[in-house]
């Protein structure tokens, strides 16, 4: 795992011109969560610039831990889209973090080859609607915005459970020869379900601010003030990173790759 993370981090650093520490954290976020990934760079946190600290927190907000993917797959969420979102969100978070908080200081951790990874025993709704307005059906905007609100103010677990219900309702409509399911709430396009899957794939919720501060501050007590000062900005940046990957997924969606009977629900349930 350490070798894989280091290679991915090296690629990010070379292509995005980011520092070694923030690149390693971003790569780690693909596999582990918002408080576990920073453990890889724990000795460096106390010396990181504020821009780097912001990037570390943004990466945590924009991704989810691999350990929770199984729960979302169990709900009925597409495994392939969840895995794709996990990979795409890591570099997206790094890019958005640097746009939000550009580096103005000199990093002390620029050479990734000099960093040794120790081996362990275990391996806002408005912004979303604005960004996705080009690819999301207008009739589905309200439901997807509702999911984003649930994710932001509660958590992504509850939001994915609600999305699974929408997907189940669509399947019920399909099983009933594509007739309307009456009062059942349903996303009218498969594209909307895909966009929602990517948009929800991150820990960017209000509660995670406390989780990240609680996890990062003990690693570098002297940087507690800096971490607190960039937390809210990082939360917003992490949300936008998720929305960006969702928009890309919506743009790349090819209706021909899905069963025609599923797509035909759109014309009969509205």
Task: State residue 182's pLDDT score.
Answer: 46
Count CB-CB contacts under 10 A for residue 160: 27
Give pLDDT tens digits for 122-175: 474 445 444 444 455 667 888 888 999 999 999 999 999 999 988 888 777 776
Give pLDDT tens digits for 49-107: 999 999 999 999 999 887 788 888 888 898 889 989 989 999 999 999 999 999 998 88
pLDDT at 238 over 90: yes
Query: Residues 21-47, buried b or exposed e (16+ Cβ, 10 A)?
Result: bbbbbbbbbbbbbbbbbbbbbeebbee
Interatomic CA distance for residues 163 and 73, integer angstroms: 12
**Residue 209: how many CA atoms within 13 Å on its side-chain side?**
17
Task: State residue 114's pLDDT score.
Answer: 63
Q: Which of 28-32, 122-126, 211-215 has the lowest mean pLDDT?
A: 122-126
Interatomic CA distance for residues 269 and 237, integer angstroms: 36
Length of the chain: 270
- Is 155:207 a contact under the CB 8 Å cutoff? yes
Count CB-CB contacts under 10 A for residue 76: 15
104: closest CA among 169, 49, 160, 153? 49
Interatomic CA distance for residues 67 and 15, integer angstroms: 28
Q: What proportions of the chain, in percent to the nearest 5, are helix, strand and coil?
A: 70, 0, 30
Query: What share of the chain in percent tops pLDDT 70?
Result: 80
pLDDT at 183 over 80: no
Task: State residue 74's pLDDT score.
Answer: 87
Is residue 246 very low, low, confident or very high in pLDDT (cuts 50, 70, 90)? very high
Interatomic CA distance for residues 10 and 27, integer angstroms: 9
Task: State residue 139's pLDDT score.
Answer: 72
Interatomic CA distance for residues 133 and 74, integer angstroms: 30
- Classified as helix, coil or strand, 143 is helix
pLDDT at 261 over 70: no
Tell me the average pLDDT of the chain: 82
Query: Residues 212-241, buried b or exposed e (16+ Cβ, 10 A)?
Result: bbebbbebbeebeeebeebbeebbbbbbbb
């Amino acid at each position: 795992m350490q070798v894989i993370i280091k290679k991915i981090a090296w690629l990010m650093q070379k292509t995005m011109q980011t520092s070694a520490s923030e690149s390693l954290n971003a790569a780690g976020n693909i596999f582990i969560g918002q408080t576990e990934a920073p453990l890889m760079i724990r000795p460096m946190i106390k010396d990181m610039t504020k821009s780097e600290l912001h990037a570390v927190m943004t990466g945590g907000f924009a991704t989810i831990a691999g350990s929770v993917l199984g729960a979302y797959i169990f709900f009925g969420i597409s495994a392939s889209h969840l895995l794709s979102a996990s990979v795409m969100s890591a570099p997206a978070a790094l890019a958005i973090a640097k746009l939000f908080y550009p580096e103005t200081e000199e990093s002390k951790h620029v050479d990734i080859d000099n960093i040794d990874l120790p081996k362990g025993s275990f391996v806002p709704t408005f912004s979303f609607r604005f960004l996705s307005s080009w690819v999301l059906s207008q009739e589905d905007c309200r439901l997807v915005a509702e999911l984003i609100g649930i994710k932001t103010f509660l958590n992504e677990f509850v939001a994915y459970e609600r999305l699974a219900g929408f997907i189940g309702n669509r399947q019920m409509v399909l099983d009933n020869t594509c007739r309307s399911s009456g009062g059942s709430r349903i996303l009218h396009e498969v594209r909307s379900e895909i966009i929602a899957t990517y948009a929800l794939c991150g820990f960017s919720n209000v509660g995670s601010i406390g989780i990240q501060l609680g996890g990062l501050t003990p690693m570098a007590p002297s940087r507690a003030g800096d971490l607190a000062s960039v937390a809210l900005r990082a939360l917003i940046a992490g949300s936008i990173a998720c929305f960006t990957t969702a928009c890309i997924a919506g743009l790349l969606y090819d209706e021909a790759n899905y069963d025609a009977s599923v797509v035909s629900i759109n014309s009969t349930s509205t």
